[in-house]
Amino acid sequence: MSKPRVNTSTTAVVTLTIELTGLGSWGPDCKTSQVYDQAKEAALGRLRRLFQGDPNGVRVVGAVKVKSVTTDTEAR
């Protein structure tokens, strides 16, 4: 007796971590909280534009991490 044949369908979900740079620059009088808020929004906006029109959708499923880098521009 032969085994019954089963037709299947398979999909996949991929979760990945990406790093975005070049999201803006801020002056010396800018508060760190403003840097974090604006960098986060700029990154999310870039991703939305990148995947705009994708019929399958893309969503952020993890915490958004922002790292600010401060560079001295003049010697004191």
How confident is the model over 48-73, as pLDDT tens digits?
Answer: 898 888 888 778 888 899 998 887 77
CA torsion angle for 66, 64, 40, 34 (degrees, to 10)? -60
Mean pLDDT rounded to a whole number for the chain? 88
Per-residue confidence band for 76, with pLDDT thresholds at 50, 70 and 90: low
- Is 15 a domain residue? no
- Is 39 a domain residue? yes
Is residue 67 within 8 A of residue 36, CB to CB? The reply is no
- Is 48 a domain residue? yes
Range of the domain at 48: 28-52
- Is 12 a domain residue? no
Tell me the per-residue pLDDT of 40-50, one tens digit each, with 9 for 90 and over. 999 999 998 98
Q: Does the pLDDT value for residue 34 go beyond 90?
A: yes
Domain count across the chain: 1
Length of the chain equals 76
- Is 59 a domain residue? no
CA torsion angle for 64, 70, 71, 76 (degrees, to 10)? 180
Q: What is the pLDDT of residue 72?
A: 74
- Is 22 a domain residue? no
- Is 20 a domain residue? no
- Is 44 a domain residue? yes
Q: What is the pLDDT of residue 20?
A: 93
